[in-house]
Chains A and B, each alone.
Chain A
Amino acid sequence: MAGDRSARTDPDTLSWYEATARQRVTALADPSSVREFLPPTERRMSPHLPLFDLPRAFDDGIVVGEATLDGAPVLIAAQEGRFMGGAFGEIHGAKLVGLLRVALELKPKAVLILFDTGGVRLQEANAGETAIAETMRAIVDVRAAGIPVIGLIGGRAGCYGGGGLIAGTCSRLAVSEGGRISVSGPEVIETNKGAEEFDSRDRALVWRTMGGKHRRLTGGADAFCADTVSAFRRAALDLIGRAPAFDLDTLEAEQARLEDRIARFGDCHDATDVWRRLGVNDPEAVPAMDTDAFDAIVARVGEMDHDAR
């Protein structure tokens, strides 16, 4: 399907954050290589949103399909963060689950998940929650078959709620400055625990605590990208080549890695305390750093690369 070709799709200049899901897929993959499954013309729309007087989307907010990346076959899913916050509804989730299940038959070089989600779509909460559980099991099956599942995170909606758990199930994650990874969103924490616990209007706090730089510095992500499609493409190609196995050794290593993180940083109040303890000389300067300067910090601290995921 021709999609949004009128907009700028040069992968070197196209902002990941600003692009639509379909633009990301088109520009990420090799030119003209994308074949979409259940495309918008099939009108597989939510059967539930009309009950809430809410508009539907022809693709229920997710693009799934196959493509090639540097000539190798891959399966791709991309969430549209602008439609219902990219949240998991029944159809949306089932498209991702179907894609992962068919990976076991097609044996692609990798499955790429372009996250852009606030989590479960509350109007279809039970279906969304269950789909997230199905997705996690399917990812584990795909990984155990030796197929890397790579998450790319840099969209408007971030990667929240069950999306954060799915991300934690992937083989590798690439994240940009704009990519936030978290379970409870800032507003959810504030609503439930008060502004003293988390002031959701303090955007700098949100980015420090949940943003791409913090996740990369603490090993929660495996690559940090500039906000372009090309940067994510390079990261994806690199990460596909070094995906960890899914086995007991990997999970034992992850257990040790996460326990070590809590032992070292469990008493830190702010992300800057964590970064200081990691050996970052001027942690206050990290949020404003450009990609090159940040990469230099990552290289110097040098302990966030691991196979424990």
Chain B
Amino acid sequence: MESLTFRHTTKKPLPGSVPNAITGVVASGNLEVLLERVLPPDACEVAIETPIAGYGDVWEAVVADFVARAQPGGLRISINDGGARPDTVSLRLLQGARLMEA
């Protein structure tokens, strides 16, 4: 298993007041994303556990893209990965952010 953590500063907090949410399931080609509103409003942290080592740069790019699009300030995001493709990861992250905005 490989552990990766990415920390970002956002321009604004993610709107909404949902304290936490989860989306997705750990399965082959899938992942679960747990989002918790526990950080300062301009901070976002994404921690990933994945069984597929050596894709740190891909994760870094996917996460950076998500942070730029969603501005998820205040969120600690934890991912259990089952070997998902980058597009699935992006989709789940955006789904998760939408749940938190509700």
Query: Do A and B contact each other directly (Cβ–Cβ < 8 Å)?
Result: yes
From A54-62, A208-216, A256-264, the one touching the partner chain is: A54-62
From B4-12, B20-28, B66-74, the one touching the partner chain is: B20-28
Chain A residues with CB below 8 A from B21, complex form: 1-3, 5
What is the predominant secondary structure among interface residues of chain A facing chain B? loop
A82 at the interface (CB under 8 A from B): yes
Q: Do B81 and A55 touch (CB < 8 A)?
A: yes
**Nearest residue in A to B53 (C-beta to C-beta)?**
A53
Count contacts on B: residues with CB < 8 A to the other chain: 25
Chain A residues with CB below 8 A from B34, complex form: 40-41, 58
A83–B30 CA distance with the chains assembled, in angstroms: 10
Chain A residues with CB below 8 A from B100, complex form: 2
Q: Do A5 and B99 touch (CB < 8 A)?
A: yes
Q: Do B51 and A6 touch (CB < 8 A)?
A: no
Q: Do B49 and A55 touch (CB < 8 A)?
A: yes
A40–B18 CA distance with the chains assembled, in angstroms: 15
- In B34-88, the 8 Å CB interface with A consists of 34, 36, 49-51, 78, 80-82
**Nearest residue in B to A80 (C-beta to C-beta)?**
B25
Chain B residues with CB below 8 A from A80, complex form: 25
Q: Size range of the interface on A?
A: 20 to 34
Q: Do A6 and B32 touch (CB < 8 A)?
A: no
Q: How far is the CB of A125 from chain B (nearest CB, A)?
A: 20
Q: Do B80 and A58 touch (CB < 8 A)?
A: yes
The residue that A20 contacts in the complex, of B18, B25, B82, with Cβ under 8 A, is B25
Q: How far is the CB of A191 from chain B (nearest CB, A)?
A: 21
Q: Do B27 and A6 touch (CB < 8 A)?
A: no
A50 at the interface (CB under 8 A from B): yes
The residue that B20 contacts in the complex, of A20, A41, A50, A56, with Cβ under 8 A, is A41
Chain B residues with CB below 8 A from A50, complex form: 1
The residue that B95 contacts in the complex, of A1, A6, A20, with Cβ under 8 A, is A6
The residue that B26 contacts in the complex, of A4, A6, A55, with Cβ under 8 A, is A55
- In A1-29, the 8 Å CB interface with B consists of 1-6, 20, 22
Given contacts A6-B98, A41-B20, A53-B51, contact A82 B25 (CB under 8 A): yes
Chain A residues with CB below 8 A from B20, complex form: 1-2, 40-41
**Nearest residue in A to B94 (C-beta to C-beta)?**
A6
The residue that A4 contacts in the complex, of B23, B36, B78, B82, with Cβ under 8 A, is B23
**Nearest residue in A to B35 (C-beta to C-beta)?**
A2
Given contacts A1-B21, A2-B21, contact A54 B32 (CB under 8 A): no
The residue that A56 contacts in the complex, of B23, B36, B49, B102, with Cβ under 8 A, is B49
Chain B residues with CB below 8 A from A82, complex form: 25-27, 30
What 6 pairs between A and B have smallest CB-CB spacing? A2-B21, A82-B27, A57-B26, A82-B25, A6-B95, A40-B22
Known: A53-B1, A58-B32. 17 other contacts (CB 8 A): A1-B20, A1-B21, A2-B102, A5-B21, A5-B102, A6-B23, A6-B98, A6-B99, A55-B49, A55-B80, A56-B26, A56-B49, A58-B34, A58-B80, A82-B30, A83-B25, A83-B26
Q: What are 23 A-B interface contacts by the 8 Å CB criterion? A: A1-B21, A1-B22, A3-B99, A4-B99, A5-B99, A5-B102, A6-B95, A40-B22, A40-B32, A41-B20, A53-B51, A54-B51, A55-B26, A55-B50, A55-B51, A55-B81, A56-B80, A57-B25, A57-B32, A58-B32, A80-B25, A82-B25, A83-B27
